[in-house]
Structure 1
Amino acid sequence: MTAGRTCAAIAGAFIVLATLSACTASSPNPVSPDEAPSAPTTTTRVPRLVDESDRPLVAFDPCLDIPDDVLAAAGYDPNSEDNADFAATHYTMLGCSYDGTLKIPGVAAYGLTVMSANFDWAVELQKSADNGDEVVRTDVADRRALLKTNQSLPESCDMSVETSYGVLLFGLVLFGMGGARVPEAQWCTGLEDTAERIVTVLDDFESRTR
């Protein structure tokens, strides 16, 4: 496993840890000349994972809905994609991790995990409080967002963005050169820009699926 892949895998583990403290289409039935035509059918994608709760389905799937060129422009290798899904009884998180490609001073490797969850904003706020995260409230593309760090998870940074069905979660993890720790001021390097790029994709996705 490459250093980058290890980094992305750890990013996925971090984001799940913080959270824990295939298309189908219907076909019209044949109608006889005497029958009125049926209403047009639509194609609905069934999420790869569905929980047992009454929460909304996870509409935006990072593994399927983030274009390769968006990932590449943000500094990540689309070909390094690694599944980071997490299924629980009461909520679902669909996600993928990616290796970073940019050269960052003092950083040997870095990785990103993007997870799409169907718990609501109030739950995300409570989880952040329970985890003892240091939180900066902000917004991304006119959506409520949180930028989060935690001293118990050094060299990592998380961002949460509200969606129509729940929350989109971003987890960044970095490794310093030669075993040296990345300074805290760099833990969130580039994460807000990455989130803005992907939320632009989410905006378009939600406008087409309303």
Structure 2
Amino acid sequence: MKKVTYVIIILIILICALSYKIKFNNNDFNTISLLQDKKLKDCKTELATFEQNFIYERENENLELDGNLPLIDIEGNTVLVKNIIKANSLVLRFSELNCGECINAEINALVNNKNKIKKNVILIAYYQDRRNLFVFFKDFQNKGLTNIQMYLLPNEALLIPLDKLNIPYYFCINSNLIMNNFFIPQKDKSTLSKVYLDYTLKSFLK
């Protein structure tokens, strides 16, 4: 996963560099200077956000998910995590209490990669009204996400540190229920999600 992390860091730096390099028709030096300072500040903020997210992600690496954690499947049956995760899988964890735009951004990212999703992509979601699980599952299928599994998390949490941030996140999990390759997406940086999904779908789920 270090490889994809380095790629994302380089990508952020390139995005910042391209944003910083602006062509101006206005010769007002002060205006140019102010705009360049703003771009530089924005880049520093983006890098700081990525750095903080990286720290949060590392706190959860190699934790073991509780195999007896109950989930509810699309038919309304209660199942245990240990009975549904039997191979390398990619999980998107989100809650209806998260930022709606953030959730939509990641669903769109998955839709854009739907031709690469063959199996073992799992959505674990929390909805206050359990009926919404079926509604949103059908909606995602209509968008082309036909090779996904979706489960409701009754107690709203996977009981890992990252849950406290109240944001959507991805992680990989193996048959021993060891979690790694955590990724906190940014709704306005879809390219980062694309890099993460490309790498994970090709390498971890191959």
- Give the TM-score, by structure 2 length: 0.31
Normalized per residue, the structure richer in strand is 1
Normalized per residue, the structure richer in helix is 2
